[in-house]
Structure 1
Amino acid sequence: MGRSKNERHPQSTSPVTLLWRKAEVAQELTGWGQYLGYSLNIPVVNDAVAGRSARSYTEEGRFQTLVDTVKSGDFVVIEFGHNDGGSLSTTDNGRTDCPGDGEQTCTSPTTGETVYTFVFYEVEAGKALQAKGANVIFSSQTPDNPWESGTFEYTPSRFVGYAQKAASTIGAAYVDHGQYVANRFQSLGLSTVDSFYPNDHTHTSPQGANIVSAAFVKGVLCANDVLAAHVKNTTSSVPGSCI
């Protein structure tokens, strides 16, 4: 696996995989989407933007831009969670979603605007993309370093369940990326995984991002998702077990 293509409008009749998620941007840190292209026989457009949540991606109009440009048959992978937490009780960072797994709403304490839930933002984006004929894949949040304490610990965040609910709500595909990464990191051990996090417990090195990308591919293959037909690897050639 290696760097994916960075085409915004590939001139190809093949579907284009569009990857939306929180990403690392510093040179020594790399988001996993940059490596996905080497596992697929179709172009990858990696438009990840650092520091975004499902809410801020919506409010900045980025989902709408995607809906406006996507074509029937394209694949869209949606993964958020790292930047969606926080509280709206006294402050608002512009990223925190309203608590809940449905159509609950909150009022921003700083702007007075209505804030919706993680599930609502993902469902609305997914429905709009499906209406354009896109194949939507919801992917669960990847874990922070599960070896940070010196002992392996992984408890899925609430956003993992929220992503699964968004997928089931609109009949979209779902990959439990977080669990596949956790399983792979557990097998690799403390010292190896620690080396994937040179600066903090969230942002991976290129080597770590490559492993995280492979875990997503494993999930796609194991689920026999429609995207699996475009994966160059065989299921057995990608490390890890199906869940």
Structure 2
Amino acid sequence: MHSSSLLSVLALAATTLSAPSGHVEKRAQTVYLAGDSTMAKANGVITGWGVFVPYSLSLPVVNKAIGGRSSRSFTVEGRFDEIIEVIQPNDIVIIEFGHNDGGSLSSSDNGRSVCPGTGAETCNSTYNDQAVTVHTFPYYLTEAGKAIIAKGGKVIMSSQTPNNPWESGNFSYTDGGRFVTFAKDVAKALGSNAMYVDHGAYTASIFNSLGKAGTDKLFPQDHTHTSPTGADVVAKAFVKGLQCGGGGFLKGFVKNGTETIPGTCL
């Protein structure tokens, strides 16, 4: 009897171990971050807001942002593909570019500048002595978004954070520029599996409330990159925008209530 029972247990274990791959352990949704240095981890003097946003979310966060990248270079280097390869249904990808996407496509093409335009326009350029076809900012983000959604993921298009809006001596922030508009339009075009957060406007609003002296302290190196304290402020601005919009795909996963984050709903 004991031998028979043991064999039965071993048989059951073998069946469990050899169960079809469709039977997997439950896992928490994962949030992936795709962006440039304003989102990425850096040195102790400056760092990006992606380092601090995990403290506001109850989901795992994987920060794939990297300094110096644009929608174009992030795509060409296969960094969107790396995310798309590993995401699973209901994972969320927050995408924020714009700081490195401007500039001119000329003989000095830096590999980051995008083709002017709002859709499928292309430009011919030369980069590293190679002829290349360059697409527009909306094209790169739309293609990435469609691939993420095809895997069952969700997309949050986030507008780029502003440079120090007090740099001139007076506060100055309007609509954040064309890349902000493009990000909003891409989110709308992608449909119900994408949403938009005007991170730039919410960050600028908090900087306005801090005044020139308070904001200047958050930019120790230049007018673009924040200190860790500044990155924490910028992360809270993202959460503020998210919460003021009802939470979207992250509803129920935000630890901070809007009332605890400085600023007002825009």
What is the letter of the counterpart of residue 116 of structure 1? H
2:196 equivalent among 152, 160, 174: 174
Q: Distance in 2 between matches of 1:79 and 1:174?
A: 10
What residue identity is the alignment partner of 1:134?
Answer: G
114-123 or 36-45, larger mean C-alpha shift:
36-45
2:240 matched residue in structure 1 = 218
Distance 1:35 1:228 in 2: 18
- Name the counterpart of 2:54: 37
List per-residue Cα deviations over 1:39-67 (Å, max 9, x = no partner): 11111111111100000000001111111
Superposed displacement of residue 37, structure 1:
0.8
Counterpart in the other structure of 1:6:
none
Q: Indicate the RMSD between aligned Cα atoms, in angstroms.
A: 1.3
Question: In the alignment, does 2:206 pair up with 1:192?
Answer: no
Secondary structure of the 1:109 match is: strand
Task: Please tell me whether residue 207 in structure 1 is matched to residue 221 in structure 2.
Answer: no
- Residue number in structure 2 paired with 1:22: 36
1:47-88 CA distances to partner (integer Å, 9 max, x unpaired)? 111100000000001111111111111110000000101001
**1:95 alignment counterpart:** 112
Q: Where does residue 121 of structure 1 map in the other structure?
A: 140
Partners of 2:110 and 2:43 in 1: how far apart? 22
Pair 1:51 & 2:68 matched: yes
Q: In 2, distance between residues paired with 1:12 and 1:139?
A: 29
Q: Which runs of 5+ in 1 are unaligned?
A: 1-10
SS of corresponding position for 2:69: coil
* Deviation for aligned residue 1:241: 1.1
Query: SS where residue 108 of structure 1 aligns?
Result: strand
State the shift of 1:12 in Å: 7.1
Contact 2:44 2:228 in 1 (8 A): no
Larger Rg: 2
Deviation at 1:113, TM superposition (A): 1.1
Q: 1:233 aligns with which of 235, 246, 256?
A: 256
Describe the SS at the equivalent of 1:230.
Answer: coil
* TM-score for both structures, normalised by structure 2: 0.85
Residue type at the aligned position of 1:231 = V
